[in-house]
C-alpha cells in the first residue's frame, strides 16, 4: 500500500527564491501548454493536442529557454504537463456525462503551488545526505534543503512533491509499504451515525460531540479578513494580512484532521466491523432552487437559502467526508471491515418493533416510537439502524 508523508522544509533565503522560481517556471509551462491546446482547438479545425505531443516538445522548449525552463528536471516538467492532461480528461469526461464543467483555467503564479517529481532520484533526492543527522532533500537547481522530519519514513520513497502553503514549504513523499499485520479480532461490531449536534453517535449509546473548530475560529477569521480588506493592494502589510487569514484556516484544518484521526483510531481499535451511512454530502450541500415570485416578475420569494447556508456550514464544520476517508484508510491497514449503508429511514425506524414513521421523531434529538412507546436518543437509534442494515448487507454478500 502507498502512504503519504508531509514534512515542513526549512529552506535558506536563497533556496526559498529558487523554489519560488521553480513554481513560477512550471506555472508558465502549464499555462503555455494550455494556450497551445486552446489555440489548436479554436483555430486549427477543432483538432486537439495530446499529452504525448506536448511532452515531445519539451526538449525544444528547454533548449529554447535554458536560463529558465532548461534548469528544471525533465521528469517534473512531464508531471506538470500530465497534470494539465488530467484536467482536460476530467473536463471531457464531465461533458460526456452531461454536466457543465468549466474549461481548464490559466493559473496565476500565486495559484500554482505544487511541483511533482514522479521518481526519487530524478531531479530530486530524498535524504540526500544520509550521514548527516539533519534530513535533507535535494532538488535540482535548488540544492540540499533542510527537512523537519518529525517521524520515520517506512518503505521505499516513490514520488516526491514540493508544495507551497502561504509562506511555508512542504515536501510530500509517497512511500510503498508492505501491508501491516491486521489487529487482533475484538469480536465487536458497531454502527455509527454522523451528525451535526453530535459529530458521531455509536450503536452502543456513546457520543463524540462536535468540536466546531471553525465556529470557534470565526471571530479570529473575521478580524483577520477585516484587517485584510483595509490593506492597500500589493503592499507589504497586505501580504502579511493574507498570511494571517491563511494561518487561521490552516489551524482549523489541522484541528479537524487531528480530531478525525483520533476518533477513527478509537473505532478501529475497538471494533472488527464499522457500519456507516453512505452520505451523499454533495447532494445535501446543494443550494436550494430559487423560487420566482409569481406576482412580481424578476424578483424572488424566500427559498430558505440562508438557513441552508447555516446548515452547510455545520456540515462542512463536521468534516464528515474527511473523517470517513481517514477511517477507511485506518480500517484497511488494520484489517477491519467497513460497510456503507443507505441512510434512508435510519432515523425513523424503531429498533425495538420495526415501526417506521416520521412521527417517531418528534424533535431533532428525541426518538419516541408511536407503536410501542420505545424512546431513546435519535442519534443512537440512527446508529442502531445503520448497524442492523450493515449486518444484513454483509450477510447477503457472504451468502
Footprint of Zn ion (CB under 5 A): 350, 352-353, 355, 369, 371-372, 374
Q: Which is nearer to Zn ion, 327 or 369 (CB)?
A: 369
Q: Find the shortest distance in angstroms from Cβ 194 to Zn ion.
A: 24
Residues 6+ away with beta carbon under 8 Å from 204: 190
What angle in degrees, to the nearest 10, is found between the helix axes of 213-229 and 236-270? 170
Residues 6+ away with beta carbon under 8 Å from 59: none
Q: Which is nearer to Zn ion, 175 or 384 (CB)?
A: 384
Q: Which is nearer to Zn ion, 274 or 384 (CB)?
A: 384
Q: Find the shortest distance in angstroms from Cβ 184 to Zn ion.
A: 37
Helices marked H in 46-98 — which ranges? 51-56, 58-64, 74-96
Q: Find the shortest distance in angstroms from Cβ 372 to Zn ion.
A: 3
DSSP characters over 291-355: EE-SSSTT-EE--SHHHHHHHHHHHHHHTHHHHHHHHHHHHHHHT-EEEEE--TTTTTB-TTT--
Distance from the first to the final alpha carbon of the chain: 29
Enumerate the β-bridge partners of residue 144. 138
Q: Which is nearer to Zn ion, 53 or 375 (CB)?
A: 375
Q: Find the shortest distance in angstroms from Cβ 351 to Zn ion.
A: 8
Q: Find the shortest distance in angstroms from Cβ 354 to Zn ion.
A: 7
Helices marked H in the chain — which ranges? 13-42, 51-56, 58-64, 74-96, 213-229, 236-270, 281-285, 305-318, 320-334, 378-398
- Alpha carbons 53 and 51: distance in angstroms, whole number: 6
Q: Find the shortest distance in angstroms from Cβ 332 to Zn ion.
A: 37
Q: Which is nearer to Zn ion, 308 or 374 (CB)?
A: 374
Amino acid at each position: 500500500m502507498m502512504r503519504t508523508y508531509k514534512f515542513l522544509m526549512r529552506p535558506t533565503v536563497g533556496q526559498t527564491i529558487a523554489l519560488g522560481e521553480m513554481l513560477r517556471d512550471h506555472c508558465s509551462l502549464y499555462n503555455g501548454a494550455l494556450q497551445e491546446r486552446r489555440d489548436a482547438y479554436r483555430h486549427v479545425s477543432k483538432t486537439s493536442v495530446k499529452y504525448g505531443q506536448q511532452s515531445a516538445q519539451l526538449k525544444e522548449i528547454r533548449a529554447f529557454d535554458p536560463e529558465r525552463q532548461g534548469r528544471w528536471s525533465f521528469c517534473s516538467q512531464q508531471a506538470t504537463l500530465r497534470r494539465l492532461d488530467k484536467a482536460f480528461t476530467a473536463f471531457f469526461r464531465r461533458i460526456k456525462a452531461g454536466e457543465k464543467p468549466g474549461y481548464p483555467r490559466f493559473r496565476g503564479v500565486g495559484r500554482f503551488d505544487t511541483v511533482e517529481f514522479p521518481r526519487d532520484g530524478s531531479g530530486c533526492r530524498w535524504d540526500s545526505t544520509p550521514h548527516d543527522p539533519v534530513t535533507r532533500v535535494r532538488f535540482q537547481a535548488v540544492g540540499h534543503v533542510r527537512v523537519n522530519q518529525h517521524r520515520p519514513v517506512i518503505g521505499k520513497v516513490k514520488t516526491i512533491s514540493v508544495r507551497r502553503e502561504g509562506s511555508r514549504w512542504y515536501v510530500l513523499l509517497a512511500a510503498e509499504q508492505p501491508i501491516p499485520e491486521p489487529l487482533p479480532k475484538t469480536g465487536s461490531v458497531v454502527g455509527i451515525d454522523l451528525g451535526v449536534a453530535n459529530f458521531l453517535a455509536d450503536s452502543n449509546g456513546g457520543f463524540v460531540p462536535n468540536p466546531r473548530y471553525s465556529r470557534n475560529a470565526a471571530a479570529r477569521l473575521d478580524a483577520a479578513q477585516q484587517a485584510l480588506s483595509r490593506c492597500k493592494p500589493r503592499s507589504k502589510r497586505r501580504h502579511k494580512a493574507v498570511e494571517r487569514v491563511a494561518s487561521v484556516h490552516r489551524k482549523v484544518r489541522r484541528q479537524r484532521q487531528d480530531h478525525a484521526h483520533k476518533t477513527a483510531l478509537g473505532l478501529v481499535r475497538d471494533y472488527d466491523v464499522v457500519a456507516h451511512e453512505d452520505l451523499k454530502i454533495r447532494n445535501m450541500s446543494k443550494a436550494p432552487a430559487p423560487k420566482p415570485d409569481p406576482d412580481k416578475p424578476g424578483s424572488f420569494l424566500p427559498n430558505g437559502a440562508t438557513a441552508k447556508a447555516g446548515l452547510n456550514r455545520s456540515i462542512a464544520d463536521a468534516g464528515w467526508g474527511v473523517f470517513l476517508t481517514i477511517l477507511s484508510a485506518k480500517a484497511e491497514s488494520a484489517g477491519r471491515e467497513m460497510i456503507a449503508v443507505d441512510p434512508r429511514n435510519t432515523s425513523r425506524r424503531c429498533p425495538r418493533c420495526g415501526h417506521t414513521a416520521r412521527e417517531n421523531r418528534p424533535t431533532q434529538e428525541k426518538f419516541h416510537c408511536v407503536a410501542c412507546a420505545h424512546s431513546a436518543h435519535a442519534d443512537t437509534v440512527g446508529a442502531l439502524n445503520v448497524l442492523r442494515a450493515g449486518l444484513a448487507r454483509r450477510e447477503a454478500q457472504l451468502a
